[in-house]
Amino acid sequence: MENTVSDFTEGRITGKLIKFMIPILGSLVLQAAYGAVDVLMVGWFGTTEGLSGVSTGSSIINLVTFVITGLATGITVLLGTFIGSKNTERAGKTIGSAILFFLISGVILTFVLIAFAEPIARLMKAPEEALANTVAYVRICGGGIIFIIAYNLISCILRGIGNSKLPLIFVSIACIANIIGDYTLIAIFHMDERGAAAATVGAQVISVILSLIILRKQKLPFTIKRSDIRFSKEMLSFLRVGSPIALQELMTQISFLALIAFINNIGLEASSGYGVANKITTFVMLIPSSLMQSLSSFIAQNVGAGREDRARRTMYTGMAIGITVGIVMFLLAYFNGTGLSHIFATNEGVIARSAEYLRGFAPEAIVTSILFSFMGYFSGHGMTLFVMIQSMLQTFLVRLPVAYIMSIQPDPSLTMIGTAAPLATVFGILINLGYYIFFRRRKSA
């Protein structure tokens, strides 16, 4: 059996962090490609209405997925702490209670997404021409949401014990299955957004089944007994850590949904253009996102082992890596937005709108690496309540007001709407820096 555990409390930080981060980055690249293929196939072989339906519908499904992943991050942090302190018994109990919690959550979400797909789509201001497309996408994905939840739970557990390679394998399986499914259902059978949704669900089913088979052959640092699958204090522990992150993700995704509603009001072309740009920005954000996930696990182990000095150095290392790559991504998004948009669409109006948004969003590639490194540091300490509060302040004091004001101008510019994201991030950095200084002083005292 293969040993799945990594020790982050000793050795060179940069080398170990990059080694741990690369598979996570690979997983995120494939996840981004997973979603991008839907847009690409519908953009090439489908309709503008279908493209708008996938854009709005996938944002609704992303809200659910990110909230679930936020809750599961509580498991990642707790497992990292338990592995660092060699408390494997509590690790098994935590996972057992998580299985029960997410199973119940999946059943509830399946009902909600299928039954209320149309009211949700109308709330999102989906263009009337694309309303039926949006509803169809949400209902089909909602029918398979339990498999999407299962994949994310398995990945969070593995990252918590220091294994980022297996999640990469699992998402690779899903990505390949999704590409085959998308091409077959959209390009050959012309199922438009329905084909995209069906391919997404089918790929997740395949990935979860194969991941469970692979996991049976791994040497895990804990055991899960049948008696562990119950409501317990461990469930309360991971919910206490994960709930603020989930609420933060909920607020962030709601802000993105509100942004989509603002843009949907501008028209079908703007809606589709933003859908294309949104897939590109997902790739732009890969390094900051992989940094935050890596830092949370890396720092949690060092906190569990009492290595606070190493936890701080890890955060600084993450910032340096993120800024270096972020500069390159900024240049690509700002100066080559049209070329990037051509990958996903053929309609020139949609491409122009996409590039317009990317010019405003581009600085986010740099500043988010700093913000997410702070967030990874605080999440690794279990201080997820602060992470949630600062995120909500960014969202409701800066991102949404700026985006709304820009969207109601006489001739609204997607570039100006796009600037809402980096402006909110800079505001978040200032909050995090102030709290970091306060935290350091309190620890010293």
Query: DSSP secondary-structure letter at 203?
Result: H
Provide the phi-psi class of 212: left if phi over 0, else alpha when psi is between -120 and 50, else beta. alpha
Residue 218's beta-bridge partner residues? Answer: 2
Reading the block at residue 155, the tokens are: 């990945």
What's the confidence (pLDDT) of residue 1?
A: 46
pLDDT of the residue at 5: 55
Q: Within its chain, how far is the Cα of 429 from the centroid? A: 20
Digit-coded pLDDT (tens) for 72-113: 888 887 887 777 677 777 777 888 888 899 999 999 999 999
Q: Give me the helices (H) in 216-304, please.
A: 233-264, 268-284, 286-304
Give residue 253's pLDDT: 78
Structure tokens at 66: 């990110």
Q: Which of 20, 24, 8, 11 is nearest to 289 (CA)?
A: 24
**pLDDT tens digits for range 269-307:** 888 888 889 888 888 888 888 888 788 878 888 887 788
Q: What is the pLDDT of residue 215?
A: 77
Please state, rounded to an integer, the average pLDDT across all residues of the chain. 86
**What is the signed CA dihedral for 370, 375, 378, 382, rounded to 10 degrees?**
-160
pTM: 0.70
What DSSP designation does 395 have?
I
Most confident of 37-41, 164-168, 426-430: 426-430
Note the pLDDT tens digit of each residue in 378-396: 988 888 789 888 988 998 8
pLDDT digits (tens, 9 = 90+) for 173-206: 888 999 999 999 999 999 999 999 999 999 999 9
pLDDT at 15 > cutoff 80: yes
Q: How far apart are CA 52 and CA 341, in angstroms?
A: 15
Domains in the chain: how many in total? 1
Residue predicted with more confidence, 91 or 65: 65
Q: How far is CA 402 from CA 125, 174, 175, 310, 389, in A?
A: 19, 37, 35, 38, 19
- Distance in angstroms (rounded) separating the CA atoms of residues 40 and 44: 6
Range of the domain at 387: 2-444
